[in-house]
């Protein structure tokens, strides 16, 4: 995604292409998260992105890191 950001910033790829790359990364994250889903839960957490960050990839990666193996429920 870093390289995609560089390409987008230079105007080498369109916003649509950047969104497609982001969607593909989110699909991989979702698939990975489903495979790692714990069987038991110990609590709940809420994860958001930083102010003025309109992307959700970082929050999704953070969710995986925080819910495996602590077994928290992602809200």
pTM listed for this prediction: 0.60
More confident residue, 35 or 46: 46
Mean pLDDT of the 12-32 span: 89
More confident residue, 64 or 18: 18
With cut-offs at 50, 70 and 90, classify the pLDDT of residue 72. low
If one counts the domains in the chain, the total is: 1
Question: Residue 27: its pLDDT value, please?
Answer: 87
Domain carrying residue 55:
2-74
CA 10 to chain centre: 24
Contact 19, 51 (CB under 8 A): no
* Span 27-44, pLDDT tens digits: 888 887 777 666 666 777
Question: Residue 20: its pLDDT value, please?
Answer: 93
Q: Are strands 72-74 and 43-45 parallel, antiparallel or unpaired?
A: parallel
Contact 64, 36 (CB under 8 A): yes
Rounded Cα distance, 15 and 75, in Å: 29
């Amino acid at each position: 995604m870093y390289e995609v950001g560089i390409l987008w910033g230079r105007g080498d790829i369109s916003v649509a292409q950047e969104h497609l790359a982001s969607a593909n990364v989110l699909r991989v994250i979702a698939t990975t998260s489903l495979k790692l889903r714990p069987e038991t839960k110990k609590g709940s957490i809420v994860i958001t992105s930083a102010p003025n960050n309109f992307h959700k990839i970082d929050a999704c990666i953070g969710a995986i890191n925080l819910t495996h193996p602590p077994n928290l429920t992602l809200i």
